[in-house]
Amino acid sequence: MIKKVAGAVERRPYLVLICVFLVSGFMAYGVTKISTTTEFREFLPEDSPAVKTTLEFESKFGSTTERILLKAENVFNANTIRDILELENALRNEPELRDYIVEVKSYVDYLGITENILLLPEPQLRAYLYSMLTQPQVVSAVKRLISNNQTATIINVSTVSELPADERTKKTDAFIEFVIEFSENNENLTLEVTGTLTLHNEIFGLMNRDNQILIPAAAILVVVILFFIFRRLSDIGISALTVALGALWALGTMAWLDLKFTMIHVALIPLILGLGIDYSIHMLNRYYEGVGKGMRAGRAISTSIRTTGAAITLAAVTTIIGFSSFMISDFPAISTLGAFASLGIASTFLLTTTFLPAILLLRDRRMKKVKKLIARRGKRADKLLSTAVIGVERHGKSIVAVAVLVAAACAFSAYGISTTMSFESFLPADVPSMATLGEIEEQFGGQSVIIVLAKGEIKSPQGLQAMLDLENSVLSEGNNLITDSMSLANIVSQIAGGIPPSKNAVETVINNIDPTQLKKLLNGYEAAIYFYVNAKTDQDMAEATRIIRTHVKENMSNSLDLSIDGEPAVGGEPVIISDIVGGISSNMIRTTMLAFLLCLIVLVVVFRSPILGGIALLPMLLTIGWEFGTLRILGWSLDVLTMGISALIIGIGIDYAIHVIHRFREESRRRKPELQKAIRTTIMRVGTALLAAAATTIGVFGVLALSAMPAIMKFGTLTALVIFYAFVAALVILPSVLVIYALWKRK
């Protein structure tokens, strides 16, 4: 097959270029249609009970709540109350926000304050406010809206949840700008905004910032490294164009399939750039080796495809396997990342073995001689690397033993590594919305909400009592983690002094509940129960989720239906985050094992030797062990991105081992009695290309460390370090093992 490709490219280079540009035009048009999302629910399958419950809650009970934190000298001051009313009216009447804001509610709206009341002297106004705050219905509505020292209050703004993503983003930005402008025009108060949509907008903004900075930075880095390797502008342009088209094909396919670009896909383009450029480097390196020996362009290209092309094919297959293992992940966003990274690598590989040689042929077919600079490039680096490897090989057994022991100790440390997933993973703590959220949680207690959906005879005394029993049982085990609850049963009980004995009595009480508040609690035969969680960490969210799910399961046989698809109908962002965290370790183990087994099978088949296949994977096993040690030293947790690095490094790092083994076998056949010379020649021939490939890949992932999103920064930093480990293992550990293996085989 490789020979056929080489022959086809040599005979029909123009046809190759036409086909590539036609496909690229189609994909470029598709990229204009790509959509973006920052929803955490995209990390879980749509049929997940937590996602289904959350979606059903939003469709039945309407809206997403954004919070305005208002700080003043005293929120019970008449002037502050007037400012609150003015802000509420301004938000309700702002034309740009009319189809975005459903309602605006502050504590003032529950106290029946009129202009005449505001004209009362300050002591009488305070007396009126305190008397209203003793009423049960008012207490349940406003107790989480006023700080203990009365210097801060929360204004809840309910927004339309059904808006298209792009429009919702624009409206949220307009809402934030409106509140900031109002705050700047009022000297007596300060307004800050947070909430789910605000946080998602912050993440979206950081994603755009990263795309605008990281992709150009990665491209510039690749160009600089290529310049130092090839010193020829056309080589740089050809290599960069090849990998850019590979990335374009992956994104275009993603758009045509209507798959969404999520927070973690920010790493996709730099990832394809860093890995895909390696194939061009190896192909060009072998091509110039050929022309340096006096070959004409056509023969040099054909030789490159038939020799290095075979190694590149194997490297591409194992890399694709590494990424494809992500596709068994329970997280759709991770599965999609794996699929399209695989597609990007496959596209880049295809272009490297067809498009790149076709352009080289058309450029150089009339060239009779290669410049001395080109023919001699990399010789100094090759000699230095080969000399270092021979020096290490003399102490090979000791070095291999130490490397294995260190890797084993590092792997053992994996038992102490925690898992994490939260807004903090993607937003720095100093982002305004995150800082505001932290301040609200500190002053007002738990603001995270876990929802339980109940269906059945909600308005019956039995139905209300079942809801109340569930709330009381959860709160009794909450341990200050689950701080409060709110439901129709809770409010009816507060107003009536207990659950009324008859349906008519229940209906009478319900008819006296504020309609806006009632809308959040009841929709036909379905009710929402809100549990407020004071979660400082994702572990707190996981514990709160466990408590609530346990009690819902225990109460699923009562007079109400508390299930969805047979599972507890428990939803909300804390539950979604908890389920993501719960699946990180198991997903990491599954994807890593699958990548390892598939790569081992491919290597055994290609090398026709189980031992040689295992030797090719040895550097990766050492690298994975060193990875866990690095995590412990840095004090980092596993998240949805770092969990995939082990599988990823098997697919990426094994490329270095493949090129070393492939060339060593070629050289050892020529020099059977001189194994050290075979190793030396191997490193001299592939060393510079491997160094350049590692430099570009490490550099591109290092660029990700510049990301403003902590999760992307950690992913980039750790992956760059692990790829460096893989490179060192391939050039330091592997040659020693190969010589030991070759000597054993000859006995």
What pLDDT score was predicted for residue 374? 47
Summarize the confidence of residues 155-175 as an average pLDDT: 82
What are the phi and psi torsion angles at 480 (to 5°)? 65, 0
- Three-class SS string for 9-22? HHHCHHHHHHHHHH
Contact indicator for 74, 152 with CB cutoff of 8 Å? no
Q: How confident is the model at residue 375 (pLDDT cuts 50, 70, 90)?
A: very low
Of 688, 667, 698, 675, the residue nearest 384 (C-alpha): 688
- Domain range summary for the chain, segments of one domain joined by +: 2-40+202-422+578-746, 63-160, 457-560
pLDDT 10s digits, 311-358? 777 778 877 877 777 777 767 767 777 777 788 888 888 888 888 888
The string of DSSP codes covering 509-559 is HHHTS-HHHHHTTEETTEEEEEEEE--SSHHHHHHHHHHHHHHHHHTTTSS
Tell me, what's the pLDDT at 613? 82
- 544 vs 44, 82, 448, 532, 536, CA distance in Å? 19, 39, 10, 10, 11
Task: Please give the pLDDT value at position 177.
Answer: 92
138 HSE (CA, 13 A, CB side): 15
Contact 479, 533 (CB under 8 A): no
670 vs 183, more confident: 183
Do residues 369 and 80 make contact, with C-beta atoms less than 8 angstroms apart?
no
pLDDT on residue 373: 41
Q: How confident is the model at residue 367 (pLDDT cuts 50, 70, 90)?
A: low
User: 57 vs 462, which has greater pLDDT?
Assistant: 462
Q: Identify the CATH number of the domain defined by range 2-40+202-422+578-746.
A: 1.20.1640.10
* Amino acid at site 396: G
* DSSP string for residues in 156-211: EEEEES-S-HHHHHHHHHHHHHHHHHHHHT-TTEEEEEEEHHHHHHHHHHHHHHHH
Closest CA to 88 of 101, 76, 73: 101
What pLDDT is stored for residue 372 in this prediction?
A: 43
Residue 305's Cβ-count burial label (10 Å; 0-12, 13-18, 19+) is buried
> Is 70 exceeded by the pLDDT of residue 391?
no
Whether the pLDDT of residue 117 is over 70: the answer is yes
CA distance 664 to 658: 10
676 dihedral zone (left: phi>0; alpha: psi -120 to 50; beta): alpha
Chain centroid to Cα 470, Å, comes to 35
- Tokens representing 694? 């590692």
Paired with 484 in beta bridges are: 532
Q: How far is CA 400 from CA 455, 616, 740, in A?
A: 64, 14, 11
pLDDT tens digit string along 488-530? 888 888 888 888 888 889 888 888 887 777 888 888 889 999 8
What whole-number distance in Å separates Cα of residue 667 and Cα of residue 682? 7
Going from the C-alpha of 295 to that of each of 288, 361, 373, 524, the distances in angstroms are 9, 12, 16, 81
Q: Which two tokens stand for residue 492?
A: 């009816």
Q: What pLDDT score does 90 carry?
A: 92
Average pLDDT over residues 352-379: 67
pLDDT at 97 over 80: yes
Per-residue pLDDT band at 292 (split at 50, 70, 90): confident
Closest by CA position to 336, among listed 730, 637, 45, 685: 45
Could you tell me what percent of the chain has a pLDDT over 70? 83
CB 74 within 8 A of CB 107: no
Mean pLDDT of 652-659: 77
Reported as a single tens digit per residue, the pLDDT across 545-595 is: 889 988 988 887 677 888 888 888 988 878 877 777 777 677 777 777 887
d(CA 723, CA 38): 29
User: What is the average pLDDT value for the chain, to the nearest integer?
Assistant: 78
Share of the chain above pLDDT 90, in %: 3
Range picked from 76-85, 303-312, 383-392, 649-658 for highest mean pLDDT: 76-85
Residue 70 has what pLDDT?
92
In sequence order, the 6+-apart residues with CB closer than 8 A to the CB of 605 are: none
Give the pLDDT of residue 597.
Answer: 84
Please, are residues 440 and 447 in contact by the beta-carbon 8 Å criterion?
A: yes
